[in-house]
Amino acid sequence: MKTFDYVRATSPEHAAELFAARPGARYLGGGTNLVDLMKLGVERPDALVD
């Protein structure tokens, strides 16, 4: 799995700002499928916004 930044938002608005500021970011929001895809190398986000 590739290294990535993890950022935790304090509000929905903050999450949108963090997401917009990080090209290649993905929303985590539960993220069970996303984490599995990351382990398989299918998804390779630069950052996760939670």
For the chain, domain boundaries? 5-49
Per-residue model confidence as pLDDT tens for the chain (50 residues): 789 999 999 999 999 999 999 999 999 988 779 999 999 999 999 999 99
* pLDDT on residue 2: 87
The C-alpha atoms of residue 34 and residue 21 are separated, in whole angstroms, by 20
Question: What's the predicted TM-score (pTM) here?
Answer: 0.82
Give, in order, the Cα–Cα distances in Å from 24 to each of 7, 11, 48. 13, 20, 9
Strands (E), 1-50: 5-7, 25-27, 47-49
What pLDDT is attached to residue 49?
96
